[in-house]
Amino acid sequence: MKKIDLHSHTYYSDGALSPAELVLRAHNMQLDALAITDHDTCLGVVEARAVQAQQARPMSIISGVELSTAWEGQDIHILGLDVNIDCPIFQQRLAQQGEARWQRAQKIAAKLQSFGMPDYLPQVQVMAGQGQITRVHFARLMYQDGSVASMQTAFNRYLAHPKRAYVDPEWISVATAVKWITEAGGIAVVAHPSRYDLKTKHLRRLLAEFVQAGGQGMEVTNASMSPSKTELMLRLADEYQLLASAGSDFHFPCRWTELGRGLQIAREVKKVSDLLLQRGALA
Ligand code: AMP
Ligand code: MN
Ligand code: MN
Ligand code: MN
């Protein structure tokens, strides 16, 4: 059976590794395919493919993105898989998400400054470089200068909804994200549906809207998910005729998450990976 991971991050958003480091790690983990799905950018994909081209061991690099959307006051993430990263309209649209991130970053920085912290904005810009600025960049800086005891504390006390430095982002709607991904030739997949603060009834409504907009898949499992949660996700995928997807959401090396680990989908269900295979995105 092929080892496939359809959700991962590089330092072009809030991941810690460069695309090259991520690709080499994926080889060490014996992956056959890896989707790079940074928040609102595809910059890591090009570099990862260039690195892969130098490797003797075959591995498919799937072009991906994780779009930030707002749905009933919640941040909902929609993955775009096998998107055409050269599509100029798609590039423009990602730049629009970047602008929303920049506007939000300025407000977050101002709030943190009002609590006596340094102006993090210049450092955040340097850290993000060409990539997208995320709340994780702020958390890193707050931890580094001792303003908080851990990055998690930075979220728990300041950056998470609805804490003191939380700023309502200007994200697109779920339907818009699906449209952008579809128009870029990609497959839209609801990221980590079990992680949202939504009752099953609300999750059903989200999935119904997603399907109505033309969405095709949902993540059903990751390494840390309980069997009962996974079972519920499989049931919902079946109910809404969504293809099952699995990805680690790898951000940085740690004990809990690893590329390709614990992603087997136990039941015989229709999978996003089957569609990717049909489309020729998996070697
Ligand atoms: P952003 O897209 O800039 O709003 O940042 C969201 C990212 O921050 C997520 O993808 C996670 O990697 C991380 N994150 C969000 N909420 C939390 C939290 N409560 N604790 C730790 N990390 C979080
Ligand atoms: Mn993230
Ligand atoms: Mn996410
Ligand atoms: Mn992610």
Helix, strand or coil for residue 219? strand
Q: Say what percent of the chain tops pLDDT 70.
A: 100
Find the 167 Cα to ligand 1 centroid distance in Å: 13
Pairwise CA distance, residues 245 & 251, whole Å = 18
Pairwise CA distance, residues 185 & 25, whole Å = 28
Render pLDDT for 90-123 as a digit per residue (tens, 0 to 9). 999 999 999 999 999 999 999 999 999 999 999 9
Cβ neighbours of residue 122 closer than 8 Å, sequence gap 6 or more: none
Length of the chain: 283
Answer whether residue 267 shows pLDDT above 90.
no
Within 10 angstroms of residue 253's Cβ, the number of other Cβ atoms is 12
Which two tokens mark 142? 């707050």
pLDDT number for residue 53 = 98
Q: Exposed, middle or buried: residue 125 (CB in 10 Å: 0-12, 13-18, 19+)?
A: middle
**DSSP one-letter string for 78-105:** EEEES--TT-HHHHHHHHHHHHHHHHHH
Mean pLDDT across 110-138: 98
pLDDT number for residue 104 = 98
Render pLDDT for 233-257 as a digit per residue (tens, 0 to 9). 999 999 999 999 999 999 999 999 9
- Cα–Cα nearest to 7, from 268, 263, 237: 263
Answer whether residue 222 shows pLDDT above 90.
no
- The pTM of the full predicted model, rounded to 2 decimals, is 0.98
Find the 134 Cα to ligand 1 centroid distance in Å: 8
Residue nearest to atom 3 of ligand 1 (CA): 134
Mean pLDDT across 72-89: 97
| Average model confidence (pLDDT) across the chain | 97
Q: Which of 17, 136, 158, 254 to mutate to test the pocket of ligand 1 (most atoms within 8 A of CB)?
A: 136
Q: Write out residues with Cβ below 6 Å of ligand 1.
A: 14, 39, 68, 134-136, 152, 155, 160, 251
Task: Ligand 1, residue 135: give the atom nearest the CA.
Answer: 3
Residues lining ion ligand 4 (Cβ < 5 A) are: 66, 249
Residues lining ion ligand 2 (Cβ < 5 A) are: 14
Whose atoms come closest to the Cα of 247: which ligand?
4
